[in-house]
Amino acid sequence: MSENKTSLSVSDVNRLVKVSLQEVDQLKNIWVKGEVSNFSQTASSGHMYFSLKDNTSVIKCAFFSFQSKNYKGSPIKNGMELRIFGSISVYEPGGYYSFSVQKVEEMGEGDILLQIEKLKQNLAARGIFDLSHKKPIPKYPKRLGIVTSPKGAAVEDIIRIATDLNPTIQILVSPCIVQGDEAPKSIRLAIEALNDPTWEVDVIIAGRGGGSFEDLIAFNTEEVVLAFYHSRIPIISAVGHEIDRVLSDLSADATAPTPTAAAKLAIPNVSDVLLRIEETEDRLDRSIQNLTRILREKLIGILNRNVFQNPLALLEPRVIATDEITNRLALLGKTFLIQKRSDFARSEILKERMDKQLRSKKQTFELNYSRVEHFSPLGTLARGYSVARNEKKEVIADINQTKIGENIEIILAKGRLTAEIKNQIKE
């Protein structure tokens, strides 16, 4: 076999390797799982670089910002178990291959967290977590409802704390399963049972006494979150946890980190209330005593005034003033009557003058009327004369205004006549 003397550059070799690897279908669009190590992120660009390893091997990975911006899971950190989707890529300048990441999914706990985050965003968009929906916790509840496992420590803690704070509190336990596949439905039914008006529950504590992330899964389900949201009775979420909040915390009317804290939040300390009542009674007693003393002093001061010692002294000025007003009114009345009497006398004189003038005017009118009556056409008619008018309604003063056969109108003092011209005699 002859030896090939042709030399390739380093770049040529890396290019051939890149082409060869990227043409292998088994290395395209594949899922790889492993544990994260050597994680780093470039602050300026947002690109993420890390290695994915198993018990025997390591592969470098690049999660560029144009792909990582769609990642909604927990922040990537060393030690996480991931499933990554992408293809093998070769970085020619460095002479090494890496995995170009397109999608990342958390394994185990990570998958659940991603689902919870998606549910949280969906419920928030529907207004399930809005503060406007929160109901106030009653200050002095008479009956407490508890939704939890009847065998757990949580129910014992709540009952113990509640009865310590208020020995008269009535407690109604609605037992349920708080862990496992049947837990969401069981919790929902227990909450709905306490919402029955028959039980007259004032406030509900729902939760459990802590546990691992997996133990709390039921309180991160949509069924339980909506059960908290739809509760007619104010409800306190009391899931024992210290770091992450469960979704039921967000839909509840109030939240407590532990069942014990929830009991303290729901039930007022009767001793403190009684102490405040006693203090309030003391303040009221002192206030009433001070007010009584002040009013007594005011009353004594009023009784010592001159008006109460000599009541007539208060009336004398008013009597004098009343007499003066009465005298003034009497004087004004007399003056008014005199003035009106004078006005009346003047009006009588004026009336006589008007009557005289009216009589004179009447006589003049009657004289003028008789003259007008004498010379009026009606007066002439009354003396036996008449007026003739042709068909044109013209007063006939000339025979030429008529013709033979024409009907004429003759106006008398009383009534009218119609005549036909039979003959004309001209003078």
Give the containing element (helix H, strand E) for 280: helix 270-303
CA 350 distance to own-chain centroid: 79
CA 85 distance to own-chain centroid: 49
Question: Which residues have CB under 8 Å from 396's CB, separation 6+?
Answer: 388, 389, 390, 402, 408
Closest CA to 266 of 136, 130, 131: 136
Alpha-carbon distance of 404 to 391, in angstroms, equals: 12
Residues in the chain with pLDDT values less than 70: 1-5, 108-113, 212-214, 241-244, 307-309, 311-315, 372-382, 427
Q: What is the DSSP letter of 409?
A: E
Contact 240, 207 (CB under 8 A): yes
Strands lying side by side in the sheet with 170-175? 170-175, 143-148, 203-208, 235-239, 254-255
- Look up residue 148 and give its two tokens: 């939890």
CATH class of 140-268: alpha beta
Alpha-carbon distance of 407 to 389, in angstroms, equals: 9
Is 194 in a helix, a strand, or coil? Answer: helix
Q: pTM for the full model?
A: 0.47
**pLDDT score at 162:** 94
Helix, strand, coil percent values for the chain (each to nearest 5): 50, 20, 30
Q: Do the strands 96-106 and 58-63 form a parallel or antiparallel pair, or are they unpaired?
A: parallel
Crossing angle of helices 222-230 and 109-125, rounded to 10°: 30
**pLDDT score at 164:** 93
Q: End-to-end alpha-carbon separation of the chain, Å?
A: 182
**pLDDT score at 272:** 80
Closest CA to 386 of 419, 356, 424, 362: 419
CATH class of 10-107: mainly beta
What ranges do the domains of the chain cover? Answer: 10-107, 140-268, 382-420
pLDDT tens digit sequence for 402-426: 888 888 888 887 888 888 888 887 7
Is 287 in a helix, a strand, or coil? Answer: helix
Following DSSP, what letter does each residue of 340-388 receive, concatenated? Answer: HHHHHHHHHHHHHHHHHHHHHHHHHHHHHHHHHHHHSHHHHHHTT--EE
Is 60 in a helix, a strand, or coil? Answer: strand
